[in-house]
Each structure stands twice: as C-alpha cells, then as structure tokens.
Amino acid sequence: MSKAATQPCPGLPGQPAPVPTECVIGRTPASPLWLCLGLPRLPLEVRSGGCAEEDARVIVDHAGRVVQASAPAAESGVAPGLPLNAARALCPELVVLERDEAAERAALARLAAWAGAFTSVVSLVSPAALLLEVRGSLRLFGGLEALRRRVRDALHATGHACREAVAPTPLAALWLARAGQAQAVTDPAALAGRIGRLRPAVTGWPEATLTILRGLGIESLADCLRLPRDGFARRVGREPLADLDRALGRIPDPRAGFRPPPRYRGELELAAETTATACLAHALRGLFVELEGFLRARQRAVSCLAIRLAHLRHPATGLELGLARPGLEAAHFDALFAERLERLALPAPVISVALEAVPGEPFDPALAGLFGDESGSTAGFRLVERLRARLGREAVHGLCLLDEHRPEHAWRVAEPGSDSYAAAPAGERRPGWLLAPPRPLRSREGRPWLAGALRMESGPERLETGWWDGDEIARDYWIARTPAGARLWIFHELSGEGPGRGHWFLHGIFG
C-alpha cells in the first residue's frame, strides 16, 4: 500500500494530492453539486424587518465599530470597520443598531429549514451562508437554472439579499459565492481555473495568513496553487493547503447536515415602530415564505397559525389564523392575514412580529388541486377561510340535521361541508325560518295576536318529549296566518314548570 492511501492527511510536504478527484466522485453515482447561498446583509436584515436598505443605518459591534452599513449610509462614506464617531460625523442622520448575533443565527437556522424544500442535504456555514447539495433535485425542479430561479425568487420573498454560486465542492461554492461569482461551475475539471481567479481574502483565512500571502506577492488563489506544496505548507500553514485541497475536491469535505426543529418559530424586528398594515403584511410575508419551505421540506401542512404583534409599552396582540383545511402555501397565508389585518384595531404601534406554527398532518397534494375535481372544493374552503378571517369564525357555518323531535334540537351548527347522518324528517310541515329562541306572542282572549288575531290554518301538532335531559318540552304547534298574510309556526306552551305556561310563542316563519 502506498503512503498516500494509508495517510490521507492533507498537505504533507512534498506529497501530491492524497485522494484523487475521481475517488471522491466515485463514491456517489452522480457527482455532487453544491449551491451556496451567501447572505451578506444578514446583520442588517435581522434588525430591519425587510426594509434594510431604505434609510441610512448601520450595525455596530460591542466595541462600537461599524459592522455593516445600509446603501444610503454607504453612499455617505460609512464603511465597515469605521468607528461609530467617524460614521456619525459622515452621516448625521444615521440610525445606529447594535448587532444581534443570536437573531442572525436564528434567521440562518430558519432559512436552513426553509431550504429543505429544495433538497434533503442542507448545511449551515457560520456566520451567514447555506450550502445545498442539489444534484438530486435537478430533475424535480427542471434543471439547474430553473432550480436556481426558484430558490432566488423564494429567498427574495423572504426579504434577504443573497449571493449564490454553484460548484462541485462545498468550499468552492462558498468561495465563489463570497466573491459574487454567480456563473455555475458544474465540471470538476474547470474548478481549478475558476477558483484560481479568486482573491485569497474570499477564503476567510486568518488575517495573519493573508498578510504572509501578500508578503509573498500572491494576488490570487492560482498563485497559491502554483507554489510547491511543501513550501506552501511550511510558510503559510497546513490548514490553508487543506482548504485548497477540499475546494478542488482532492480530499473529502464532509458537511454536517442541518436538522430542522420540530416546530416553526420566526420573529422579525421591524425597521421602525409602525401601524401601517402594508408594513406588517410585508414583514409577515417573509415569515410565511420561510414557513412554506419549512412545511414543504417535511411534506406537512398546518391548520392554524399563531401570530404575535409586539408593542413597546403594551401587551402583545395575539392573532390566530385558522385554515378550513390544512395548507402550506405562503400566498394563501398572506391573503388570510391581509383579510384579518383589515378588521384589526392595533392598540399601539408594532415593533416586531412573530409567527409560530406546528406542522400537522401530512400534506395531501390532492387537496391542493392537483386533480381537477378537487380544485373546486379547495376554492370552496378558501372562501370559508376568507370570510372567517374578516367576519370571525362563528359568523360562517354549515347546517347539520339531528335525529330529534324537539324543533330546537333537530339541527345544529356544523363545519361547512360536513354531512348529516340523520335522515330528512317526513310528515309534518316545518318552516324555512326558525326563531331562536322562540319569541313570546301577546294574546287576547286566549288567542295569539300579532298585528291582529292570528288565524289558525292547521294543528295542533303535539310535541311532548325530551324528559331525559332536563330540557323537556310539551307544546302544541299550529300553523297560523297573520291578517297581512304571513304564515307562522306558533306553539302553545303546555308544560307546568316553565314561566311561559299557557302562553303563545312564535317559533318559525314559512318563508
């Protein structure tokens, strides 16, 4: 056995690449292809609720140095690394926000969960990049360019700026993304050439290493690759050499897969306190898109979304969006929320929004209208949701028949679309309109009266039942007509205990 095979440790001086490229590729039937999504504006985005570049604002670290500046601030000359005093001097109207690394990590983790919609292999790269192995997804999404477009559009909808790159190795994809080289590299043979054009700074090597390279007069990674391996390892370090080998696929570069949390929870701080519904809808749209990816990755749907709107000096406003049928589409959530917002009275300006959802039952594509017959039914449930979002849940219902003789118990409110298991009653006529509860009628000389004496048309029909549940009735029902011609369903109370004994009640109208 050769030394190379027993000792795959990278960068031994004078040694050629220990693992040949073909060896890495040979392990999987098709060579992997990595899509890297770099999120260069993440520090600014997590503190600005989707309006990161609208005004002059900077993110500063705890030492008071500028980490990132929005586009208007950068135009005034504010650049990363500048002390805050100097930045304020350059741009007096500057909004200064402290960096929130925990929020950045949370946002990155949420995006990783979202990216699960496109591939099963997602890996996080600190501080602000995602790596997606997309070879297996190309057919499903109709090719690399179609997939990239889908990812780009969806990411844009979440409100994040993105730099993407495609390469056969994860590290090369990451470096290309950092350098903003969007043109995909799919051929491993072309990799060395494309990597070679990059500046050493994209590697993220320590500043000391970069200084050494500058001292050697090295301008690009191609210069690094031209150096003798042993010399490079001795003078620059073994780790940079190993990185170059990983980027070129000479040694394996295993990546830890991202494991999504069991439930979705997203929070977004708004750029400024606001009551503008457009602003809130915009902020939540991003979270809805994240949620859709999260759900698609698991093939699950939700039937309820919990939204919390936080205020500065006021308890948070909580909202629940119920879906008539479990769903996962962001556009659908968006429409429901917009409907709900319209009738919402905010007690105070909102400073941040949060969305929480627990994935429920497996998503059934048939319900989403994949088959023609079901699309009508989906539209039907969408209508129920829209109406409920605006009018309230109780304002929209269906009807259901029960097997009961007491008129008020012969039906009940049901979920729209639910089937009745009782058969249609036969026999006595029933009115199309029911009054609930029955309305007392005046009587004159023992005869019921409503704008005149009522004329009895048929009856009585005696209903005496319900003794078993304490809601017993004993009534004589009549069909009667008012002098003006309206036909009514009235009853004479017979039961002894009730306050209305001997009185007449109007219970229905024959519409």
Partner 1 sequence: MSGSLHELLDDPRLWRAGCRERRWPTLSSGYPELDALLPGGGWPAAMLTEVAVERWGSGELALFMPLLARLSDAGNTRATGWIAWISPPFLPYAPALAAAGIGLSRMLVVRGGDDAQTLWAAEQALQSGSCRAVLAWAGRADGRRLRRLQLAAESGHTPLILFRPPAALAAPSPAALRLSLVAGAEGACLRLVKHRGGASGSLPVAALHER
Choice between 45 and 339, CB closer to partner 1 = 339
| Shortest distance (Å) from residue 304 CB to partner 1 | 21
Cβ nearer to partner 1, comparing 328 with 480: 480
Structure tokens at 343: 């009738």
Q: Which residues contact 208 (CB under 8 A, 6 or more apart)?
A: none
Q: How many CA atoms lie within 13 A of 381 on its CB side?
A: 18
Q: Which parts of 373-412 interact with partner 1 (CB under 8 A)?
A: 373, 376-377, 379-380, 382-384, 386-387, 390-391, 395-401, 407, 410-411
Structure-token pair, residue 433: 């309109």
For 488, the 3-state DSSP assignment is strand
| Interaction of residue 345 with partner 1, rule CB under 8 A | no
Site of tokens 């319209």: 342
Instruction: Find the shortest distance in angstroms from Cβ 35 to partner 1.
Output: 38
Find the binder of partner 1 among 1, 30, 102, 426 (CB under 8 A).
Answer: 426
Residue whose CB is less far from partner 1, 144 or 435? 435
Residues linked to residue 456 through DSSP beta bridges, in sequence order? 480
Residue 437: is the preceding peptide bond cis (ω within 30°)? yes
For partner 1, give the closer residue by CB, 147 or 384: 384
The contacts of residue 394 (CB under 8 Å, 6+ apart) are: none
Q: Which is nearer to partner 1, 347 or 417 (CB)?
A: 417
Q: Shortest distance, CB of residue 479 to partner 1, whole angstroms?
A: 11
Tell me if 458 contacts partner 1 by CB under 8 A: no
Q: Is 74 in the site for partner 1 (CB under 8 A)?
A: no
Is 432 a binding residue for partner 1 by CB under 8 A? The answer is: yes
The answer to whether residue 247 forms part of the interface with partner 1 (CB under 8 A) is no
Smallest distance, partner 1 to C-beta of residue 380, A: 4
Q: What is the DSSP string of 186-230?
A: --HHHHHHHHHTS-GGGG---HHHHHHHHHTT--SHHHHHHS-HH
Q: Given candidates 64, 347, 425, 502, which one binds partner 1 under the rule CB under 8 A? A: 425
- 340 sits near partner 1 (criterion: CB under 8 A): no
Count of CA atoms in the C-beta half-sphere (13 A) of 183: 5
Question: In 8-133, which residue ranges form alpha helices assigned H by DSSP?
Answer: 21-26, 42-45, 71-75, 84-90, 101-115
* Residue of the chain from 472, 486, 494, 503 that contacts partner 1 (CB under 8 A): 486
Identify the bridge partners of residue 491 per DSSP, sorted by sequence position. 477, 505
Site residues (CB under 8 A) for partner 1?
Answer: 373, 376-377, 379-380, 382-384, 386-387, 390-391, 395-401, 407, 410-411, 413, 416-420, 424-426, 429-436, 482-488, 508-511
